[in-house]
Structure 1
């Protein structure tokens, strides 16, 4: 009898344990959703749904759990369950997040807020968007964002920057998790070193953001938000190659360290080592590159879910372009022309929420950047170190949401150019205050101000004001006005100052640039009864500059003259985005920008160099679920730009033609945890040498007086195929 009781108890326990499972089905519009992610927060355990949308967790202890189902492009659904020695069935039906209008953003106000609720317009681009045109770096990935244009600044070494609404790269601040990591020297060279596998989303703010972010955020802000280790997949890999033998590897994985920490590691490796000269000028069409970037982020569990994260990045890049017979034995010599750039960077950033009842944060970042470059026989050696610290206090009161902050930035810069006679050491002390006022249920007013003291330029004051009106839950009107400022170091920002035969002339002590901007924004979303979603957003803006520093290529063809503009510069324009999502698998994002830039110097009007007056871009996707296939067609179109000629007799066109880069991609998703993708980039085979007698002036004598490589407006890389694979374990 005693043995029977023991056996019965054991069988009952085994039976009860075997029933302790969680299973169910994931659907989208009530159709099975394959390879969705299901995650149990308390156990840090995740699975994927199979090709029929089914999932199962086995051997789950009794207890209370929070379970979340998610899939790229759909709104996540979270449910709380109680598990007590019995199997539980939980089904999820995910709804498409058509245009991320409910996305939580931080860039516009330095704190998390719904995109529909923020008074500052913020555009959000997730990794799903970036994957529709796979690239090896974030610089190229932004080419399909409306009003944002990656601009190459050199025909030979292919360094570049990012233009927003017609303003050049130095007016765009690029941050990682809100920290000013990518700036000055690294704006030119560092954008290609951020592992795409670690990017959660990219937030774009168009217009001055100096009242929150300080110098450099004059034209806009690009904030790269990295994934939180807790929410990242256990392992991910994205590997692709092109018919030009460009090879890119992105790896990411996470692990728990004890019970209090989770770490996320990302590695990006890129290699292109195949000199090609399709335009027969004896110069490489595309710069040869080898780079590696290692990113490591830690999240620590704390009481009351207080935040604490630390991240670091190591980056090294070796790139060169030049005459086809160049090799490293010619580096810095006068026999064979080549431009060779060695870049080394170290970055550390952290965010710590103070253990107080108030919502207070301490953030800091440190970067060290070393540049060793040669342009023919011109050697450029530069070193830059930046330390940044910031305190913020988010205080909610009745009808008021206050953000108080203080920041300190120290910058060390030194190079071997004649313009830098000794190391530049800059200290900037800042305080800022922002108040978002709820005037009424549908009316919000944001007032902000920032005071900076620069040890070289004195006091700088940057106010801003924003107003938001929601007449309905599907309509948002916004008005933003503010000022911006920028403190300039030419040789960290203008590659043309270091290449070619033009002499660099600086006519005066350069004063900080200041800008004034006003922006009108309207956002509308419509959901039709047949399931079609339509989103529409349009903006109109005007920006006015004082003391703008514009390189003068026109006065003397053998010189680049830098001075503060004796007059003013302005740009005004309108842009729009249309998002369409249908229930039969078709999605589209179409954008356009029309603008009128103008410089007025000594009463004479001119059009800025390399600034298009209109542009358009599109991303059209079609999903075929029964074939497990997605098709993505992406492209952009740009109007003519004025180009830097050497003289009136230069035979090259003064304006670029209308040009377009278009791509198509096919992605196959049937194999569990895998995605196979391939397609064609630049299907029109567009290159800037079409209709132009030559691109590089004086290519036959690169050490002569007529050599110049600044005549560039589009990538000099023709049609190419690509093939890749993604593998993800949750």
Structure 2
């Protein structure tokens, strides 16, 4: 009896202390800072490079496992009984991570939660929801940002932010102001998407840190760090319009001394289409190649040294359907042909001292050889830039002090350029972020520029942040901005068509004052889903603004500083939602009002929408390796540049929308195939318009008759009193098309 009792006790002990094993997998695994916790025992496991983790010698019973990183948190329960069980976490994350490190708002790396300047982030994952051949088109799904085409034939354009025209938007690559004036459109083309880590956007003036052109906002394209990039990546897609785009990326480690990242982009569209039957190409034909190379040098003192370069070449043309290069510059067949060659160099070097002192530099050379019909425009722009910054923390003060020098050479063959322009800008700037209390901080900044053509320009700013919690933040920003105008480099309308260009005075720098209020709120739920709100209101006041005047004389474009003032104001909201069952949504809407007051008369500027909306809705079925994306935008009415009172074209655009769908299938961690439809509604701006291009049958105005005062005379052949003009454009003139692509990645 005693032996039986002993055996019974032993059996109970064995059962009570029997142990099991847990193996787990995180799919997809992208974040190295992920922690996996066995809550009841307080054990923590670190996933390997494939996202696999293990817990050994676990007592039987119920246990809770938690996976957490950044804003993501997911829990699962498991019941163990003398066994090895496998558990899989299908991870879904938001593309709009509020805890990500940003650099654009303050010129230093800081958590997005901590920066007093609102910064929006759009990752490479967001760009894949609607694949495009360039960043210019990709930005169409960002709230408050609108790519604006400025010519129906050559399809050049710029980026509008919060209703302000493209020249008010500064574009940088890795923080370097290498995209400027003449090169704005081309700087946004040909950057291989495979090398883009994220895009950071600041809405509102950033002139106190970045100088001229950063009046309306700043777009900073940040390339991948070579240490985190895949060994090889390839992305190819083609459309039913026979547009072909190829992105290649390579990474190479060179022992323990350096690593390098090489990217190549090639785009080709060579199939003229004329769906609106005006005998002109609906979309510009292009052949483009871009090569990008970035180096990270590993120094013995562990200090930073990066160096990157890019070569870009593009041949684009649009015009009459029978145009070829033998007609370039002639008056036989109308065409607009642009050859662009561009070289860029970017670098950042941390000085070998104990302080955080960085020297950044960039250099660009941009050559453009173009014909707009018989009008030749040959231009060269060279920019050299150097900047020294000192990043220092002193108690509750976080300081950034710096100086910069920018040299710009510009020359073209226009009558407005008597001799090459050489501009020297010397700058000093500083900012101090002061921690007032646990939840309160204020940023004070100022910049003094000396321009050899315009003298001294001072731009201060102030920002205040009230951080209620990590997911509840209020920010207020105010500051001034300025912009030195380069007319012909920024206004293709001044070169194309038959309107005469009139510059009535020496153009003075534009100046602005802006105030911006931003509120960020994130609501996290226990089931790993969350809901976020990002709400902004802004007001901008301009003096000396330069607004092209298309109306005083329909045959002219008149440029001069505004005798009055201009205002733009509005509100916008972004909603970011992520469920725990595969649904994600980024929804945005903006309402804005832009007005300029001239000689006491107030009017709305051309090509400025009253409201807009954007969305990117995704649904993932991770078990099937499938995802679906529905993206789109909607724009309210805007004034359009018609040619006089007899012009039958609408002087106001309708409400219009471009919508896209996509399906992606991932075979494994290496292959994925995607396809879908762009412009699902088949919307183009020629709908409800008799024509888009004025007098496409007479592009050289050979049959136009004029009154003695220069006005166009209505005739039987020209009843609307028009001249040839392709400037009536506000939206892409490309209808519905299918696309199919393949991605291959070796990590």
The two structures have a TM-score, normalised by structure 1, of 0.89
**Contact 2:94-2:578 at 8 Å conserved across structures:** no
**Contact 1:483-1:514 at 8 Å conserved across structures:** yes
**Contact 2:307-2:347 at 8 Å conserved across structures:** yes
Q: Which residue of structure 2 lines up, in the alignment, with residue 370 of structure 1?
A: 367
Rounded to whole Å, the distance in 1 between the matches of 2:222 and 2:160 is: 20
Q: Report SS of the residue matched to 1:193.
A: coil
Shift of 1:26: 3.0
Q: Report SS of the residue matched to 1:146.
A: coil
Q: Higher mean Cα deviation, 257-266 or 147-156? A: 257-266
Relative to structure 1, is the Cα distance of residues 729 and 37 closer, same or farther in structure 2, using a 3 angstrom cutoff? farther
Q: Which residue of structure 1 lines up, in the alignment, with residue 743 of structure 2?
A: 726
Shift of 1:306: 1.2
**Contact 1:161-1:168 at 8 Å conserved across structures:** yes
Rounded to whole Å, the distance in 2 between the matches of 1:38 and 1:478 is: 31
Q: Which residue of structure 2 lines up, in the alignment, with residue 709 of structure 1?
A: 726
Rounded to whole Å, the distance in 1 between the matches of 2:426 and 2:290 is: 31
Shift of 1:195: 1.2
**Contact 2:666-2:672 at 8 Å conserved across structures:** yes
Aligned residues: 671
**Contact 1:73-1:98 at 8 Å conserved across structures:** no
Shift of 1:189: 3.0
Relative to structure 1, is the Cα distance of residues 72 and 420 closer, same or farther in structure 2, using a 3 angstrom cutoff? farther
Relative to structure 1, is the Cα distance of residues 101 and 377 closer, same or farther in structure 2, using a 3 angstrom cutoff? same
User: What root-mean-square deviation, in Å, do the aligned CA atoms of Structure 1 and Structure 2 show?
Assistant: 2.2
Match of 1:448 among 445, 460, 476: 445
Q: Which residue of structure 1 lines up, in the alignment, with residue 106 of structure 2?
A: 109
**Contact 2:94-2:584 at 8 Å conserved across structures:** no
Q: Which residue of structure 2 lines up, in the alignment, with residue 161 of structure 1?
A: 158
Q: Which residue of structure 1 lines up, in the alignment, with residue 266 of structure 2?
A: 269
Rounded to whole Å, the distance in 2 between the matches of 1:37 and 1:644 is: 50
Rounded to whole Å, the distance in 1 between the matches of 2:356 and 2:89 is: 34
Match of 2:125 among 123, 128, 134: 128
Match of 1:694 among 691, 695, 720: 691
Shift of 1:116: 1.1
**Contact 1:139-1:192 at 8 Å conserved across structures:** yes
Q: Which residue of structure 2 lines up, in the alignment, with residue 137 of structure 1?
A: 134
Q: Report SS of the residue matched to 2:248.
A: strand
Max Rg structure: 2
Q: Higher mean Cα deviation, 188-197 or 676-685? A: 188-197
Rounded to whole Å, the distance in 2 between the matches of 1:657 and 1:135 is: 25
Alignment of 1:612-623 (within 5 A): 612-623=609-620
Match of 1:581 among 578, 582, 588: 578
Q: Report SS of the residue matched to 2:188.
A: helix
**Contact 1:75-1:95 at 8 Å conserved across structures:** no
CA distances 1:492-546 after superposition (whole Å, capped 9, x unpaired): 0011000000000000000000000000000000012343200001000000000
CA distances 1:113-155 after superposition (whole Å, capped 9, x unpaired): 1111100000000000010000000000111000000000000
Q: Report SS of the residue matched to 2:386.
A: strand
Alignment of 1:25-104 (within 5 A): 25-27=24-26, 33-34=27-28, 49=50, 96-97=93-94, 99-104=96-101
Alignment of 1:523-672 (within 5 A): 523-672=520-669
CA distances 1:12-38 after superposition (whole Å, capped 9, x unpaired): xxxxxxxxxxx97432xxxxx157587
Match of 2:510 among 510, 513, 524: 513
**Contact 2:317-2:335 at 8 Å conserved across structures:** yes
Relative to structure 1, is the Cα distance of residues 340 and 95 closer, same or farther in structure 2, using a 3 angstrom cutoff? closer
Q: Which residue of structure 1 lines up, in the alignment, with residue 431 of structure 2?
A: 434
Relative to structure 1, is the Cα distance of residues 465 and 54 closer, same or farther in structure 2, using a 3 angstrom cutoff? closer
Unaligned residue ranges in structure 1 (runs of 5+): 1-22, 28-32, 41-45, 57-68, 77-88
Rounded to whole Å, the distance in 2 between the matches of 1:73 and 1:693 is: 52
Q: Report SS of the residue matched to 2:735.
A: coil
Rounded to whole Å, the distance in 2 between the matches of 1:639 and 1:281 is: 26
Alignment of 1:330-479 (within 5 A): 330-479=327-476
**Contact 2:95-2:125 at 8 Å conserved across structures:** no
Shift of 1:361: 0.2
Q: Answer yes or no: is 1:149 the counterpart of 2:146.
A: yes
Alignment of 1:168-179 (within 5 A): 168-179=165-176
Rounded to whole Å, the distance in 1 between the matches of 2:470 and 2:406 is: 41
Rounded to whole Å, the distance in 2 between the matches of 1:724 and 1:472 is: 43
Rounded to whole Å, the distance in 2 between the matches of 1:37 and 1:613 is: 41
CA distances 1:419-441 after superposition (whole Å, capped 9, x unpaired): 10000000000000100000111
Q: Report SS of the residue matched to 1:427.
A: strand
Shift of 1:367: 0.2
Unaligned residue ranges in structure 2 (runs of 5+): 1-21, 35-46, 55-66, 75-85, 705-722
Shift of 1:387: 0.1
Relative to structure 1, is the Cα distance of residues 209 and 643 closer, same or farther in structure 2, using a 3 angstrom cutoff? same
Relative to structure 1, is the Cα distance of residues 98 and 173 closer, same or farther in structure 2, using a 3 angstrom cutoff? closer
